Chains A and B, each alone.
Chain A
């Protein structure tokens, strides 16, 4: 069975807490706050003002450039504010606040649930629809999908890879999507293949999700999805990393930055993104909701919710029985790469595939000891870096050395910190080094 070539770890996947919970529709929020930056790229520009009436699915934020994304109202009602508010990490963001009145949708949106398979649009028409709908990568990276689909001149896509790996522990939103929305997913894959003009689409799924693999395989045969292949992959973190997944599926390694996946002919989209693409192209439905896993060992209940964006995270946590007593971490995402949320009244945004709650005892930050040179971090690094060295260089502010040792290659998967027997916060320092070195590289480019 295939997997990526170097490094990686095997954390306990902890998916059992929420994997059997069907997707439930979360009740509509009475008020939403929609940040104007939910994606990688330029912030969106609000096109509504206080007092405006909006419909569900109406454009409220216009993409602020090519690498940016449109943002739509997830509910119908009245705009009560366009102002700066803190987001979940406590960062100040421009947000549009809407008070709900009913649930009246934009008339062009097809809200029927029946599968609309046929698509005769040209690639550029598909890409335009994806762009208009504000679709971004739903695995957490939130890179605008229309940018990915717009293959630069002189380069050619050969294969579409769908990320159904969900290697992050705890999260089950992609898994439930594959099980419950398989046909929409596969139709989305067909549309993406059409947009990219490729013959082959591979959905990579780790073998800890055998029922999803079997289900999708059955659907591919039944629906005669030509060129689509379901590829089981050996469970190993971080298989869902873009470069790791491409290497696992095709055997080809994307060269170090600034090379992009397209340089080896691959375009990677998340499984939930494929469903969003289907809805955008076939149903004219912009990205206004997503599946979110709410999970954690100590939670009274776990859920996989279909939630409108802007819903307060509090509401989701309350439905799970509230936060447990004591010290807890509330994570936007899973425990390996998720970000700790400091304010649970913050709104849900496009990149949030799950809310993981872990108690203080499960997230030990043991007392730091000296590096014993065990080389476990070197063996675990999926990018072939030397984490102990990069961390030390960043600590000592030796930025040129850090650049020499390729710190910008780091994908921040956290395997190094996870394995360190001395509890060194390796990734904390590597991140600082990476950001600083990237800044230096940018400054150098501007000077030239």
Chain B
């Protein structure tokens, strides 16, 4: 073999990071939460996740291949991530055809309409979830169908989430068994109940430098502070229960770690990320405490997604040599 000299501009080496590796890491980080959900809720979790992932990947392929007639990018695994996160946002009893509609909306409307990965203004999985929540409100808030009997005690049989119960005044935050809650014993979407596993996944993403701490910490910190102030205002005896409850209940951890950190829909600079996170935290708490819905994470992220271009415009990185 002969030697052939070729030229190209610098730099001549690459760090090896690829979109596929990043998305693969996100999928990996979601697996502990998936395992916890399977353990608590049974194997239907896997079925729904599989249908959701398959739906997202196939829809993306079909749209790119036949509608856009361009390059297919399912190999970058971003559709897999969308599929898993969409599934995590669904209740266990959801009919499979609704899952497929969610996948179609997530990929078709949420992602491909805008030009695919990196161009979507809103988190695709979130777009799918919000669409389903509005289109199929009954199926989307049925937290008991198919749930194993061991889970269905007096607390969970009400068929509503703890956030809804507390909001309706059925019981106080001070009566919550946080140990059970942390262990996943609560009503909710499939993927949001494994708090410990979600945190573990988040730590993995931090370690792999897929995400930075700014967004999750800003969201959860704001929520905790807000909840503590409300707790203080309500009598002070729930000063630590309120923050803990609001972080563990509902989709706070799933949203803060895996959904709000979506690259294309979150700000580019660390300062912007903090503002964005604080915004999500505030909106979530406002919706949870005074809005019509018991849970506000999805809407809060969605609204702040819309604010991201504006945040990017005003939060530029600090130019070297300037104050």
Contact = CB atoms under 8 A, between A and B. Distances in A.
Interface string A333-370: 00111111110100000000000001010111110011
Chain A interface main SS type: loop
23 contacts: A169-B13, A243-B320, A256-B321, A325-B3, A327-B4, A328-B3, A328-B6, A329-B7, A335-B10, A335-B11, A338-B10, A366-B14, A372-B78, A373-B268, A375-B263, A375-B267, A376-B17, A378-B317, A379-B212, A384-B319, A385-B317, A421-B18, A421-B19
Contacts of B263: 372-375
Interface in A312-328: 323-328
Interface in B1-45: 1-15, 17-19, 21-22
Chain B interface main SS type: loop
Interface string A383-411: 11110100000000000000000100100
Given A336-B12, A375-B263, A256 B322 contact: yes
B117 interface: yes
B64 interface: no
Interface stretch (A177-185, A299-307, A423-431): A423-431
B6 A327 contact: yes
A429 to B, nearest CB: 10
A324 B3 CA distance: 6
A86 interface: no
B17 A363 contact: no
B301 to A, nearest CB: 16
Interface stretch (A27-35, A128-136, A205-213, A412-420): A412-420
Given A11-B15, A406-B319, A330 B10 contact: no
A47 interface: no
Contacts of B73: 369
A157 to B, nearest CB: 19
Chain B's interface size range is 35 or more
Contacts of A214: none
Contacts of A365: 8, 14
Nearest to B18: A421
A147 interface: no
Nearest to A243: B320
A259 interface: yes
Contacts of A388: 268
A332 B78 CA distance: 39
B6 A422 contact: no
Interface of B: 1-15, 17-19, 21-22, 73, 76, 78, 115-119, 212, 263-264, 267-270, 316-322
B321 A372 contact: no
Contacts of A363: 8, 12-14
Contact of B319 (A169, A338, A383, A431): A383
Contacts of B22: 372, 374, 421
Nearest to B265: A373
A381 interface: yes
B12 A340 contact: yes
